Amino acid sequence: MYKIRVGNHCYNLKKKREHILVKNTDGQTSFLNEIQRRKNFYEYKSVEPEKFSHIVHTIYASLHQGFILSEWIDGDIISRFDKEIIRDIFKTHIEIEKKGLFECDLSKNNLLINKDKQIMFFDFGYMYPYNPLIHYNSDGKQLPIFHLCERLESRSLMQYLMDIENDSSLMIETFENTKRLALEAYSEKLIWLEKNNADTDVIQWQKNWINQWEYSLKSPANFLETYELESFRSYVLDVHDDIGGKSCTPMTIKKLDKILEQIKHNYPTLKIRNGLFWGDEKLNNSSLYDKYTKLKEQACRYQLHET
């Protein structure tokens, strides 16, 4: 990305990479996908600007010429998750989902805080179309584990909580805020789904998350267990993303260490509370530990060196 100044105005110029860092189909098509999403948002913002005020304004985009020109966002990559930021993330993406788009990569590197302390979204290479009335996400009904709150936790929030784990009160407060604000956002979307005659499975799926978080907020013990289960889920999903794209970082290794620690000390709870998935539920403690030990070795080989 480049900053271009014309007179007193600044722009962002994003060029297509010559060598794609993420070595899978999603990575190979991400630039094309982003151009398509930029076109979508240009149209949405022209009709309902208030609902998409946190989306960067695109001026020009061309796949053939290999660049995207947009307004420069005077800000920094997100370094905290306070209530206002989390609320704006959920509120904006519920509107995005109503339009039939699902964001798979809510990485903190794609979230900027501008000079007015407002969050701005500027990277849409892994946002895909879907029908929110009949599908759970952009994988249809095949992978119900993926949803908005999970994507925020797996791609950003749990890493942030890991970074501040020495401040346990702030960590717990942030996670609780996330769940309460997720409840608010998901309840709003549930009303919209019911009003628009969504598929029964989709409505029930939405209710399940609401019921789960309401249960977790009833007591400190429930809440702690929810954190343990959802942090484990987030680490596992993010690690698989990194290894699948051969785009691992030192943070991937740190998450694998957390996974191994949970397997070693918390396996019975993971097993009983359905915290294991994608075949892991069929493995005993020892086999599961061996599996993620080998994945850690693989992640060490796939460390990303940006050029």
Domain residue limits, the chain: 75-218
Interatomic CA distance for residues 233 and 240, integer angstroms: 11
How many other C-beta atoms are found inside a 10 Å radius of the C-beta of residue 77?
A: 11
Interatomic CA distance for residues 241 and 107, integer angstroms: 12
Q: Which of 153, 102, 151 lies closest to 124 in space, CA to CA?
A: 102
SS (H, E, C) 29-48: CHHHHHHHHHHHHHHHHHHC
Quick one: pLDDT at residue 307? Answer: 44
> Would you write out the chain's pLDDT as a tens digit for each of its 307 residues?
789 998 888 999 999 877 666 656 777 789 999 999 999 999 999 999 999 999 999 999 998 899 999 999 999 999 899 999 999 999 999 999 999 999 999 998 889 999 999 999 999 999 999 999 999 999 999 999 999 999 999 999 999 999 999 999 999 999 999 999 999 999 999 999 999 999 999 999 999 999 999 999 999 999 999 999 999 999 999 999 899 888 899 999 999 999 999 999 999 999 999 999 999 999 999 999 999 999 999 999 999 865 4
Quick one: pLDDT at residue 20? Answer: 62
pTM: 0.92
Q: Are strands 127-129 and 111-114 parallel, antiparallel or unpaired?
A: unpaired
Quick one: pLDDT at residue 95? Answer: 98
Class of domain 75-218: mainly alpha
SS (H, E, C) 216-258: HCCCHHHHHHHHHHHHHHHHHHHHHHHHHCCCECHHHHHHHHH
Alpha helices in 99-219 (DSSP H): 148-152, 158-163, 168-195, 200-216
Amino acid at 265: H
Q: Which of 236, 202, 91 lies closest to 149 in space, CA to CA?
A: 91
CB 179 within 8 A of CB 230: no
CB 282 within 8 A of CB 244: no
Quick one: pLDDT at residue 64? Answer: 87
Interatomic CA distance for residues 56 and 132, integer angstroms: 23
